[in-house]
Amino acid sequence: MRNVLNDLRVSLALEDGDNPIVAEGRARLHRDALPNDVLAAIAAKYDGWDVGKEIAPFGPRVLLEVPVDRWLLKGTAQ
């Protein structure tokens, strides 16, 4: 979070070994309580995981939303 707060530009990489897929964008930080529909969707996808629960000593969770500005597929910007 410290890095994201200093610079909202982020990249997310899905590595398959030979052909990484990279998404680049600017993060949007959501610090308020997560909406119930978001909590329910995450719990459904990840077998009941309660992402609304705080984890000591870190405090409340945050949600990073990353609208993708550019995809890098097989080394080519798209």
CATH number, domain with residue 19: 2.30.110.10
Residue 4 in contact with residue 29, Cβ under 8 Å?
Answer: yes
- Tell me: pLDDT of 10 over 90: yes
Tell me the residue range of the domain where 22 lies: 2-77
What pLDDT was estimated at residue 63? 83
* Total domains present in the chain: 1
Please give the average per-residue pLDDT across 56-74, as a whole number: 85
Task: Record the pTM.
Answer: 0.68
C-alpha distances in Å from residue 27, one per residue of 45, 50, 53, 55: 22, 23, 22, 22
